[in-house]
Amino acid sequence: MHRLSHISTRSRSTLADKLRSAVGGSDYGKSKQALAAGSIAAKDENGEDFRELYVMPKRKLRGQIQLEQNTGRAEIKTRSRFDLMDRLAERPPRSEEMDPEKHKWSDVWPAARTFAASVVPLPVRMGSRPNVEKRAPFKKEGNLELVKIPNFLHLTPVAIKQHCDAIKKFCTPFPPELIATPSLAATCLPISVQYSTYIHQGTNIRDIRSRVVTMIVDVESLKLTENAQEKFIRLAGKRYNKESKKLTIITDRCHTRKQNLDYAHYLLTVLYHEANKVEQWAELKERSDNLQVEFEGSETKTKLVDLIEKAKTAGLKPDESSITEFGEMWKSYRNSEETVDKTREYGRQMKKLLGISGNN
C-alpha cells in the first residue's frame, strides 16, 4: 500500500512525465513548448519556434550579486543570525542575577561541584603573574586553575550546621561517665576492635587491606582463675603482652572485615574455654614449670626465715614484717633483667630485713 502511494506521488512529477513521453513519444515536450510559447512568442519566417542559445543561466550568479553589492548598485539584505533566538534567551550570569542575602547559598550549591564562575558571586582571581602590581592575576571567568582545584563551597558553616541538625535524630549522646573518668573505659569496654578503611578513586573502590581486624582484649577482665590464666597466656604465646596484660588478635585470613571480626570473636571464645579446661596431665605440673619464679615456697624463703630466727638469737633486731615486701622485690628481681639499680635495691631490702643498720 505504501509503495503504491509512493508511485502515485511520483507520477505527478516532471521526471515521470519525461519518462512517460520517452516511452510513448507522442506528446514529448508539450508542456515545455507551451511554456516557451507563453514567455517568448517569437517565431521565424518558417513558423518554427525561436530557440534561445544557452549562454548562462537567467538568474544572477553569486559573484555578480556580490560585485553589485560591493559597488553599491544592489542593496545588501541583512539576515538575522540563525541562532538568534538562543542568543536572545541568554541570561546574565547567576552570580549577577542572584541576591546573596535573600538566596540560601546551600540551595545554590548543595553538593560538591567544580567551580563555576557564573554561579559564585565572589570576586576571586587565581594564577600567578610575573608582576602582580602591573597586571592583576587571572580573572574568574575562563580560569582553568579555579576549575582544577577542589573547592569547599558546599561546606559553608551554615551548610554543615544544617547537615548536623538533619542527622542529629539518628545519633545518641556519648556516655558522659566515660568522658568524666577515662579509666572507666578499660573496665567497662574490655574489648577494642581496630580496622582501617581505604578510600580509592576509580572504577574499583575496594581495597584488600581493609579486611584486617585487630582485636585487643583486656585479659584481667576475663576473670580467669590463676591456673586458667597461666594456660591462657601459654596458649596465646606472643599475642599476650605481659606489661599491659592485653591480648592482641589480628585476623586477616577471611575475605571481608565482618568474617574476620567473627573469626576473632571465635578465637577468643575458644581460647577462653580451652583455658578453663583442666586436663589430667595438668596435675603433674611442678614448681619449675611455672611461668615465673615464685617467692612463696621457694628455698630462699625458708632460708631467710631460718636466718631471721638465727639473727634473733644473735641479738639483732630483724624486721619480720617486711618479708612480704622483700618477697615482691625478689620476685621482680628474679623474673626480669638484672640492672644495677635492682641489685642495689636487693641489698637495701636485705639489710632492712635483717635489721643491719649502717651506711651501706
The contact set with another protein (CB under 8 A) reads 82-83, 86-87, 89-90, 112-114, 116-118, 127-128, 138, 141-145, 147-148, 150, 198-205, 207
Q: How is 100-133 classified by DSSP, letter by letter?
A: TTTS-HHHHS-S-----TTT--S----S--S-TT
Amino acid at 234: R
- Closest approach, Cβ 104 to another protein, in A, equals 22
Instruction: Quote the least distance from Cβ 280 to another protein, whole Å.
Output: 52
Provide the minimum distance between the beta carbon of 122 and another protein in the complex, in angstroms, as a whole number. 16
> Minimum distance from CB of 139 to another protein (Å)?
9
Shortest distance, position 159 Cβ to another protein, whole Å: 18
Question: Which of 98, 307 has the CB closer to another protein?
Answer: 98
Alpha helices per DSSP H over the chain: 2-10, 14-24, 30-39, 62-70, 84-89, 94-97, 105-108, 144-148, 157-167, 176-180, 184-188, 226-236, 257-276, 299-314, 323-335, 340-354
State in angstroms the smallest separation of the CB of 136 from another protein.
12
Task: Provide, rounded to whole angstroms, the least separation between the CB of residue 142 and another protein.
Answer: 4
Q: Which CB, 200 or 277, lies closer to another protein?
A: 200
Q: Which is nearer to another protein, 138 or 346 (CB)?
A: 138
From residue 39, how far is each of 47, 51, 60, 61 by CA, in Å?
17, 12, 19, 22
Whether the CB-CB separation of 189 and 174 falls below 8 Å is answered with: no
Q: What single-letter amino acid sits at 52?
A: E
Between 56 and 208, name the residue whose CB sits nearer to another protein: 208
Of 141 and 177, CB closest to another protein: 141
Nearer to another protein among residue 1 and residue 205 (C-beta):
205
CB of 99 to another protein, least distance (A): 22
Dist. CA 261–CA 251, nearest whole Å: 7
Return the ∠ at Cα 59 (arms to 57 and 65), rounded to 5°.
120
DSSP-derived 3-state class of residue 56:
coil
The Cα 244–Cα 202 span in angstroms is 42
Q: Which one, 95 or 349, has the nearer CB to another protein? A: 95
Phi–psi pair at 273, nearest 5 degrees: -70, -35
Nearer to another protein, 103 or 113 (CB): 113
Residue 62 CB, nearest distance to another protein (Å)?
23
Q: Which is nearer to another protein, 23 or 205 (CB)?
A: 205
Amino acid identity at 346:
Y
- The DSSP bridge pattern shows strands 213-218 and 191-194 to be antiparallel
Q: Which three cell numbers stand for residue 318?
A: 630483724
Determine the 3-state secondary structure of 55 from DSSP: coil
Min. distance of Cβ 29 from another protein in angstroms? 46
Report the residue number, 7 or 199, with the smaller CB distance to another protein: 199
C-alpha cell at 43: 517565431
* CA end-to-end span of the chain: 128
DSSP-assigned letter for residue 173: P
Cell of 32: 515545455
